[in-house]
Structure 1
Amino acid sequence: MQKFNRRTLLRDSSLAGASLLLPQTAHGRREPRSVRTISIFHTTDLHGHIRPTQTYGGIANVGGLARCAAQIRKWRKSNPHSLLVDIGDVYQGTAVGWMTRGRLMIDLFNKLQYDAWVLGNHEFDWGPEVVLDAVSRSTMPVLTGNLKIEGKQAGTLDDPAHPLSRIAPHTVKTVGGFRIGLIGLTTPGLPYWLRPELLMGYEVTDPVATLRASLRYLREEAKVDAVVVCGHMGLREVDDFANPVRALLELEGGPDVYLAGHTHRDHPSQFENKTLYTQADYFGIHCGRVDLSFDLESRRIVEKRAQSILMDERIPEDPLVLEAASEDLKDADAYLSGEIGELKVELSGKRESPGMPSSLQALISSAAIHAARKEGIQADGVFHGTFGGGNLQPGKKTIGDAWEILPYDNRLLVLNLNREELVGVINESMEAGGDRALFGFEVKLAKAEAPKGETGKRRFVRGLRLLGESTPRSPDHRYSIVFNSYDAQSGGKKLMRLRALAQNPECRPRLLQPNSRQSLVDFFADHGSVTAEAIAPRRVSPEDEE
Structure 2
Amino acid sequence: MEKQTNITILQLNDTHAYLEPHQEMFWESGTTIYRPAGGFAKIAGYLKQLRKEQKGVLALDCGDTFHGTYPAVASKGEVMVPVLNELSLAAMTAHWEFAYGPEQFRKLTAMLNYPMLAINVYEKATDKLVFAPYTLKEVNGLKIGIVGIACNIVDKTMPPHFSEGIYFTLGNEELPGYIQKLKQEEKVDLIVLISHLGFPQNMKLLSEVEGVNICLSSHTHYRTSKAVQQGQTIVIESGCHGSYLGRLDLTIQNCSISNYKHELVEVSDKIPDDAHMLELVQQAVRPYKQELSQKVGETATVLDRNNILESTMDNFLLQSMLHATGAELAFSNGWRYGAPIVTGSVTLNDLYNIIPMNPPIQTVELTGQELQDMLEENLEKTFSPDPYAQQGGFVKRCMSLRAFIKIEAPKGTRIQKLFVNDEELDLQRSYKASFVTEQGVPEKYGTNRSDSGIKAIEAMQQYLEKYSPVRADMLGTFTAV
**TM-score range for the pair, normalised by the shorter chain length:** 0.7 to 0.9
Amino acid at match of 1:314: K
Tell whether 2:68 aligns with 1:112: no
Please point out which of 208, 211, 222 is paired with 1:265: 222
Amino acid at match of 1:326: Q
Tell whether 2:6 aligns with 1:44: no
Amino acid at match of 1:530: K
Q: Is the 8 A contact 2:318 2:330 kept in 1?
A: no
Aligned counterparts of 1:401 and 1:182: Cα–Cα separation in 2: 36
Unpaired runs of 5+ residues, structure 2, are: 27-32, 305-309, 383-394, 469-481
Closer, same or farther: CA 382–40 of 1 in aligned 2, 3 Å: same
Q: Is the 8 A contact 1:70 1:315 kept in 2?
A: yes
Q: Is the 8 A contact 2:179 2:211 kept in 1?
A: yes
SS of 2:172 mapped into structure 1: helix
Q: CA deviation at 1:227?
A: 0.4
SS of 1:51 mapped into structure 2: coil
Q: CA deviation at 1:151?
A: 4.2
Closer, same or farther: CA 418–129 of 1 in aligned 2, 3 Å: same
Q: Is the 8 A contact 2:145 2:192 kept in 1?
A: yes
Amino acid at match of 2:9: I
Please point out which of 370, 376, 384 is paired with 1:421: 370
Amino acid at match of 1:117: M
SS of 1:209 mapped into structure 2: coil
Please point out which of 424, 437, 459 is paired with 2:399: 437
Closer, same or farther: CA 430–188 of 1 in aligned 2, 3 Å: closer
Aligned counterparts of 1:182 and 1:307: Cα–Cα separation in 2: 21
Aligned counterparts of 2:237 and 2:103: Cα–Cα separation in 1: 29
Aligned counterparts of 2:352 and 2:61: Cα–Cα separation in 1: 25
Aligned counterparts of 1:249 and 1:449: Cα–Cα separation in 2: 29
Closer, same or farther: CA 418–446 of 1 in aligned 2, 3 Å: closer
Aligned counterparts of 2:403 and 2:63: Cα–Cα separation in 1: 43
**Greater gyration radius:** 1
Range moving further from structure 2, 280-289 or 220-229: 280-289
SS of 2:25 mapped into structure 1: coil
Tell whether 2:190 aligns with 1:226: yes
Q: CA deviation at 1:316?
A: 0.5
Q: CA deviation at 1:93?
A: 2.1
Aligned counterparts of 2:243 and 2:373: Cα–Cα separation in 1: 40
Over residues 44-86 of structure 1, what are the superposed CA-to-partner deviations in whole Å (9 max), with x where a residue is unaligned?
A: 1111122222323343122222212111112212333232210
Tell whether 2:279 aligns with 1:323: yes
Unpaired runs of 5+ residues, structure 1, are: 1-32, 158-164, 237-243, 370-378, 466-474, 489-497, 533-546
Please point out which of 471, 487, 503 is paired with 2:439: 487
Over residues 437-460 of structure 1, what are the superposed CA-to-partner deviations in whole Å (9 max), with x where a residue is unaligned?
A: 25xxxx7x898999999xx99322
Aligned twin of 2:203: 246
Aligned twin of 1:314: 270
Over residues 404-456 of structure 1, what are the superposed CA-to-partner deviations in whole Å (9 max), with x where a residue is unaligned?
A: 65466555454444564356547877998665125xxxx7x898999999xx9
Aligned counterparts of 1:104 and 1:252: Cα–Cα separation in 2: 37
Amino acid at match of 2:212: P
Aligned counterparts of 2:257 and 2:408: Cα–Cα separation in 1: 52
Aligned twin of 1:372: none
- Give identity over the alignment, percent: 21
Aligned twin of 1:55: 24
Aligned counterparts of 2:6 and 2:407: Cα–Cα separation in 1: 56
Aligned counterparts of 1:486 and 1:436: Cα–Cα separation in 2: 14
Aligned twin of 2:349: 400
Aligned twin of 1:18: none
CA RMSD of aligned residues (A): 4.4
Please point out which of 62, 65, 72 is paired with 1:87: 62
Alignment of 1:182-221 (within 5 A): 182-221=146-185
Over residues 289-323 of structure 1, what are the superposed CA-to-partner deviations in whole Å (9 max), with x where a residue is unaligned?
A: 2334334xx55544344333222233111111111
Please point out which of 111, 116, 135 is paired with 2:109: 135
Alignment of 1:378-397 (within 5 A): 382-384=329-331
Aligned counterparts of 2:227 and 2:167: Cα–Cα separation in 1: 32
Q: Is the 8 A contact 2:136 2:146 kept in 1?
A: yes
Amino acid at match of 2:277: V
Closer, same or farther: CA 513–128 of 1 in aligned 2, 3 Å: farther
Closer, same or farther: CA 203–515 of 1 in aligned 2, 3 Å: farther
Aligned twin of 2:290: 334
SS of 1:144 mapped into structure 2: coil
Aligned counterparts of 1:80 and 1:349: Cα–Cα separation in 2: 42
Over residues 341-367 of structure 1, what are the superposed CA-to-partner deviations in whole Å (9 max), with x where a residue is unaligned?
A: x79x989999xxx9xx97863322333
Aligned counterparts of 1:448 and 1:309: Cα–Cα separation in 2: 36
Q: Is the 8 A contact 2:406 2:415 kept in 1?
A: yes
Aligned twin of 2:457: 517
Tell whether 2:417 aligns with 1:459: yes
SS of 1:179 mapped into structure 2: strand
Aligned counterparts of 1:290 and 1:299: Cα–Cα separation in 2: 17
Q: CA deviation at 1:192?
A: 4.9
Aligned counterparts of 1:190 and 1:230: Cα–Cα separation in 2: 17
User: How does the TM-score come out when normalised to structure 1?
Assistant: 0.66
Closer, same or farther: CA 37–362 of 1 in aligned 2, 3 Å: closer
Aligned counterparts of 1:327 and 1:389: Cα–Cα separation in 2: 22
Aligned twin of 1:290: 248
